[in-house]
Amino acid sequence: MPETVSLTIDGLQVRVPAGTPVATAILSSGRTSFRRSVRGEPRGPLCGMGICYECRVTVNGQAHLRSCQIPCQDGMDVQTDG
């Protein structure tokens, strides 16, 4: 059994294997829109490697973090803006 961690995504409790990128956790929770562009269009991960900045979310209150670059941690609070 791999070790798991528990976090909240938009208030919803989810449990994922340790080391899962936040972006993957968000996708597996069923969301595809992570945030809104300046003109209000839905946006989600594109490159998966920290270059495009499309996957930004708010983690523990801090806005505009790239969810594809951050491993999930126990007790993390993730907010999407999709």
Considering only residues 19 through 78, tell me which ones interact with other proteins, judged by CB under 8 A: 38, 56, 62-64
Report the alpha-carbon distance of residue 37 to residue 75 in Å, rounded: 28
Residue closer to other proteins, measured from CB, 16 or 59: 59
Q: Where are the beta strands (DSSP E) in the chain?
A: 4-9, 12-17, 35-36, 42-43, 56-59, 62-66, 77-79
Shortest spacing between CB 64 and other proteins, in angstroms = 5
Answer with the entry of other proteins, ligand FES, none that 13 interacts with (C-beta below 5 to 8 A by kind).
none
What tokens does 22 get?
């936040």
Shortest spacing between CB 1 and ligand FES, in angstroms = 29
